[in-house]
Amino acid sequence: MIVIKKCTTDKEIKAFVKFPFLLYKNSPYWVPPIINDEVASFNPLKNPVFEHAEATFYMAYRNERPVGRICVIINWQEVREQNIKKVRFGWMDMVDDIEVTKALLSKVSEHGKANGLEYMEGPIGFSNMDKVGVQTEGFDQLGTMITWYNHSYYKDHFIQLGFEKEKGYIESYFSFHNVKPDFFIKASAMISKRYELRALNFKTTKEVLPYVDRMFDLFNDSYSKLSSFVAISEKQKAYFKEKYINFINPEYIKFIVDKDDQLVSFSIVMPSFSQALQKAKGKLFPFGIFHLLHARKHSKEVVFYLIGIRPEYQNKGVTAMIFNEYYPVFKAKGIERCIRTPELEENQAIHQLWKHFDPTIHVKRVTFKKEI
């Protein structure tokens, strides 16, 4: 018999976070989170996303053994301001038993009906800054710290239960060794002159901080037309600034400004922390922090985490300027591979940015939808 229990105490939330450590114990591709960091992100007193969202956490048990988990999310900003009658679900993991999956998803349906919503979609997080999608291809590829990994049977369970694909995402990479700088060096000079643009580079985090709020404003503008977008609030900006900016190499943050010093584009790249997180096994101490710090300085792979371009500049080749700034940094650090995080299939503007780098699609994922 499957029993679904609501997680309310700190101990229960920690058990929720630790369940995938059991499910993927022997997987060479799953990248674990830092346990305490993920627990904190689920705390309404610490994460400002709970200003306009609510979440309920459930664990599934059989014979008192954990067999699944799910987080049910209602983003009230999305429901009330955008009139999207959707209940979200995320952080969903389960053993290969369709009855477990069915029982977990029934809790999503219950919440949706109770709040007058029309359909459920997932896996997705609270906002666009969270992980997204069920992996449907690329199960032999190492994940990243900002994506969910899952077994191949997940998608089969959703289809069997009558869910349909809602959105598709692709992930790709390109070899830095194959990058030919002639194109973007020439293009960068031409674009810079034509539109009176210039690049800002940074040596310290302190130099970056005055621009971070403007960067998130541009992020909101860049992605506002996408169907899945929920804007980042002022408190969330402060939260992400405190949580992430100090841990990103300042030389991996690039801004492009116009003649009036208005922000035109930004890009944030992070070293790949995947192998370091696997070695840390969910804990910063006593040794996890050293694995992460080592990766921060020495990783030969980088992940393009965020990129934003003002809509009126999205077809003007600004990416050439961005990569022209990254090229000497990557070359000096011996970077071998550049990885792109999940991008909506429908986002043709972002795909066009990378067409000159001959990317290889190595992972695909989708969100699933069902009326309730």
326 contacts: CB under 8 Å, gap ≥ 6: 252, 254, 267, 269
- Per-residue pLDDT of 259-280, as tens digits, reads 999 999 999 999 999 999 999 9
Select the more confidently predicted residue: 69 or 210: 69
User: Which residues partner with 6 through β-bridges?
Assistant: 58
- Per-residue pLDDT of 96-123, as tens digits, reads 999 999 999 999 999 999 999 999 999 9
Question: Measured between alpha carbons, how far is 176 from 121 in angstroms, rounded to an integer?
Answer: 36
- Per-residue pLDDT of 164-198, as tens digits, reads 999 999 999 999 998 888 888 898 999 999 999 99
Of the candidates 264, 252, 142, the one whose C-alpha atom is nearest the C-alpha of residue 196 is 264
Domains of the chain, each with CATH number or no CATH = 2-169 (3.40.630.30), 174-365 (3.40.630.30)
The pTM assigned to this predicted structure is: 0.93
pLDDT at 227: 63
pLDDT at 304: 93
Residue with tokens 């990783």: 299
- Per-residue pLDDT of 142-158, as tens digits, reads 999 999 999 999 999 99
- Per-residue pLDDT of 214-225, as tens digits, reads 999 998 888 777
SS3 47: coil
DSSP label at 355? Answer: G
The structure tokens listed for 207 are 């130099």
- Per-residue pLDDT of 316-370, as tens digits, reads 889 889 999 999 999 999 999 999 999 888 877 677 767 778 899 999 999 999 9
